[in-house]
Amino acid sequence: MKLVIQRVSEASVKIEGQIKSTIGTGVLVLVGIEDADGPEDIEWLSKKLINLRIFPDELGVMNRSLVDMNGEVLLISQFTLQASTKKGNRPSYIKAAKPDVAIPMYESFIQKVEELLGRSVGTGEFGADMKVSLVNDGPVTILIDSQNRV
């Protein structure tokens, strides 16, 4: 699984012109799932996400996590994170998990993050044409790939 984590002061997602989810201070997370991903990736990434110290403390040092500051989360599925651009100019998505695998993984990831945070998170809709808006705070953008843990 790949995550693109963006620290935001606000973010929202619209589907067919209607707001599906909106958050204030927290993180917008784009989630890309590949066939090699499993429950251990969900476990590792969900803990990493909520404990990642990317929010400023009273001295302005990035030393606080989502848990520390009661930050909000917006999770958006994005298969294009699994794009391979090694050959030619047209990205290949051969590593991206098909919906029958990716949807349950995305839903499990949402549930695990909610369980660890103790509250619900905002989401998009798997496979929908979404319009995502955000105000990137910092900007702070972190990339994490569970296949590169070591």
pLDDT tens by residue, 88-139 = 899 999 999 999 999 999 999 999 999 999 999 999 999 999 999 999 999 9
pTM of the model: 0.94
Is the pLDDT score of 64 beyond 80?
A: yes
Query: In the prediction, which pLDDT does 76 show?
Result: 98
Q: Residues 79, 82, 123, 126: which is the catalytic one?
A: 79
Specify whether 55 is catalytic: no
Is the pLDDT score of 149 beyond 90?
A: no
Token pair listed for 45: 């990434």
Specify whether 80 is catalytic: yes
What are 133-138's contacts with CB under 8 Å, separation 24+? 133/11, 133/12, 133/13, 133/14, 134/6, 134/8, 134/10, 134/11, 134/12, 134/28, 135/8, 135/9, 135/10, 135/11, 136/6, 136/7, 136/8, 137/7, 137/8, 137/9, 137/25, 138/7
Query: In the prediction, which pLDDT does 105 show?
Result: 97
Query: In the prediction, which pLDDT does 77 show?
Result: 96
CATH class of 2-148: alpha beta
